[in-house]
Amino acid sequence: MSPQLDFWVSIGSTYTYLAVMRAEEAAATAGVALRWRIFSVRQIMIEQNNIAFRGKPVKAAYMWRDIARRAAMRGLAPKLPAPYPLEEFDLANQVAVLGLERGWGRDYIRAAYRLWFEKGMRAGEGANLAAALGGLGLDPETVTAEARGDAVRAAYLAATGEAKRIGVFGAPSFVAGDEVFWGDDRLEDALSWARYGAVRAG
Amino acid sequence: MSPQLDFWVSIGSTYTYLAVMRAEEAAATAGVALRWRIFSVRQIMIEQNNIAFRGKPVKAAYMWRDIARRAAMRGLAPKLPAPYPLEEFDLANQVAVLGLERGWGRDYIRAAYRLWFEKGMRAGEGANLAAALGGLGLDPETVTAEARGDAVRAAYLAATGEAKRIGVFGAPSFVAGDEVFWGDDRLEDALSWARYGAVRAG
């Protein structure tokens, strides 16, 4: 069986753009099976008094610049800063929960991020949902209605509770066994841990 | 002339342990001249309401684990968690300011970090200063007295003001031209920018 790595995604996180655009390919190259999980990083960060960028203009400006430089390195061309923060992040994530159950979740998440970061269309809002879901041949109204339902919402909250229990406090995160790795820039460390039980150099 | 990179160090920062143990060698390999600068990251973070770990036990525990994994990858063997936070960080940094003027600053900084992270001796306190400075053939009392003086303190405050003006908000940071790179994990990006004016893949 392939080594496995859990990829904890929360739409609304900025650096997660970099991760969703490359994680699947990087994992495949490493021979690691990637399991995408959706959670509310905001709920955990509020509980832990962990404020990423609100009221921190210097740090926020740096974040956009850092993402721009790393995106360029990877051949991506986002229009930054993207609209931030999102208001409808919970709906964006609940659609992703449903999509991962149905098999179109990864494509939806990448599409939602591309539209948000490359076209300025906020994830979770009507235009983004219409384009991302429509592009996958899905009916946005039907999908969105189901994503708002109790079953999906319960799964999203349960996953958030699980993330918190295992020590996930930020997004994106990668979890291999008991080891948490936080940040797009720890994907290589996480893949190494999944394969070898240690972080090995490049 | 070699491309130049400024390395903004603030003793007291935890991830700076990883950076000071490798930055000089990495820069030399890349053909980049590294200029070490000392500042008070704490002063800037307080001003910017940027709280790294205080009151955030989950994030703090992660930080130590992340440092442990990356230290092991680089053949370092710290005893973690190291005593944290430091109380005498200003004195530790003022000694570094003096040392960089006199030519022994880099060796002192690395020694102070090794003693702190590998022997549990807090940087800026008597035992650390005695061992770090004594190991360089310096008299700890004479050096410490001078480091406490107005001239060194003024240089430290001026550098902190400069760091703030150019957008440094955390430690360690690397600055190439107008570009700020934050974190030990951005050293490669910073070296790439110093050489090519862009972040290139590994």
Taking the CA of residue A68 and the nearest CA in chain B, the distance in Å comes to 10
Give the pLDDT band (50/70/90) at residue B1: confident
Tell me if A173 sits within 8 A of A23, measured CB to CB.
Answer: no
Whether residues A70 and B180 touch (CB distance < 8 A) is answered with no
Tell me if A73 sits within 8 A of B201, measured CB to CB.
Answer: yes
pLDDT of residue A1: 78
How would you classify residue B184: left for phi > 0, otherwise alpha for psi between -120 and 50, otherwise beta? alpha
Whether residues A72 and B182 touch (CB distance < 8 A) is answered with no
Angstrom CA distances, B24 to B19, B30, B40, B174, stand at: 9, 10, 21, 12
Whether residues B167 and A202 touch (CB distance < 8 A) is answered with no
Whether residues A189 and B49 touch (CB distance < 8 A) is answered with no
Give the pLDDT band (50/70/90) at residue A182: very high
Give the length of chain B.
202
Spatial distance between the Cα atoms of A68 and A47, rounded to a whole number of angstroms: 30
The rounded Cα B157 to chain-centroid distance in angstroms is 16
- For A170, the closest chain B residue by CA position comes to B59
In this prediction, residues B150-179 reach a mean pLDDT of: 98
Q: Considering only the beta carbons, identify the residue of B48, B58, B202 that sits closest to A58.
A: B48
Whether residues B200 and A170 touch (CB distance < 8 A) is answered with no
Whether residues A182 and B49 touch (CB distance < 8 A) is answered with no
Give the pLDDT band (50/70/90) at residue B79: very high
Chain B contacts of A50, Cβ < 8 Å? Answer: 56, 59
Is residue B78 pLDDT above 80, yes or no?
yes
- For B201, the closest chain A residue by CA position comes to A73
Return the C-alpha torsion angle A87, A93, A98, A101, nearest 10: 170
B49 - beta bridge partners?
none
The type of residue at A98 is L
pLDDT of residue B197: 96
Is residue B202 pLDDT above 80, yes or no?
no
Residue from A99, A24, A14 nearest A60 by CA: A14
Residue from B172, B88, B171 nearest B132 by CA: B88
Tell me if A140 sits within 8 A of A133, measured CB to CB.
Answer: yes
Structure-block tokens of residue A145: 């209605």
- Give the residue carrying structure tokens 């940027």: B50
Q: Chain A residues within 8 A (CB-CB) of chain B?
A: 48-50, 55-56, 58-59, 61-62, 65-66, 69-70, 72-74, 167, 169-170, 179-182, 185-186, 189, 193, 198-202
Taking the CA of residue B107 and the nearest CA in chain A, the distance in Å comes to 25
pLDDT of residue A201: 85
Taking the CA of residue B11 and the nearest CA in chain A, the distance in Å comes to 20
- DSSP secondary-structure letter at A82? P
Give the pLDDT band (50/70/90) at residue B14: very high
Q: Considering only the beta carbons, identify the residue of A59, A169, A182 that sits closest to B48.
A: A59
Give the pLDDT band (50/70/90) at residue B52: confident
Whether residues B189 and A70 touch (CB distance < 8 A) is answered with yes
Give the pLDDT band (50/70/90) at residue B201: confident
Rg (C-alpha) for chain B, rounded Å, is 16
pLDDT (tens digit per residue) in A82-135: 999 999 999 999 999 999 999 999 999 999 999 999 999 999 999 999 999 999
Residue from B112, B85, B107, B97 nearest B157 by CA: B97
Whether residues B180 and A62 touch (CB distance < 8 A) is answered with yes
Whether residues A69 and B199 touch (CB distance < 8 A) is answered with yes
A80 - beta bridge partners?
none
Is residue A189 pLDDT above 80, yes or no?
yes
Is residue A71 pLDDT above 80, yes or no?
yes
Mean pLDDT, rounded, of chain A: 97
How would you classify residue A108: left for phi > 0, otherwise alpha for psi between -120 and 50, otherwise beta? alpha
| DSSP assignment of A19-67 | HHTTHHHHHHHHT-EEEEEE--HHHHHHHTT--SSTT-HHHHHHHHHHH
Residue from A4, A53, A58 nearest A174 by CA: A4
Chain A contacts of B169, Cβ < 8 Å? Answer: 58-59, 62
In this prediction, residues B112-134 reach a mean pLDDT of: 98
Is residue B155 pLDDT above 80, yes or no?
yes
How would you classify residue B124: left for phi > 0, otherwise alpha for psi between -120 and 50, otherwise beta? left
In this prediction, residues B115-119 reach a mean pLDDT of: 98
Confidence (pTM): 0.96
Percent of chain A with pLDDT over 70: 100
Phi and psi for B4 in degrees, rounded to 5? Answer: -120, 145
pLDDT (tens digit per residue) in A145-160: 999 999 999 999 999 9
- For A48, the closest chain B residue by CA position comes to B56
Tell me if A184 sits within 8 A of A192, measured CB to CB.
Answer: no
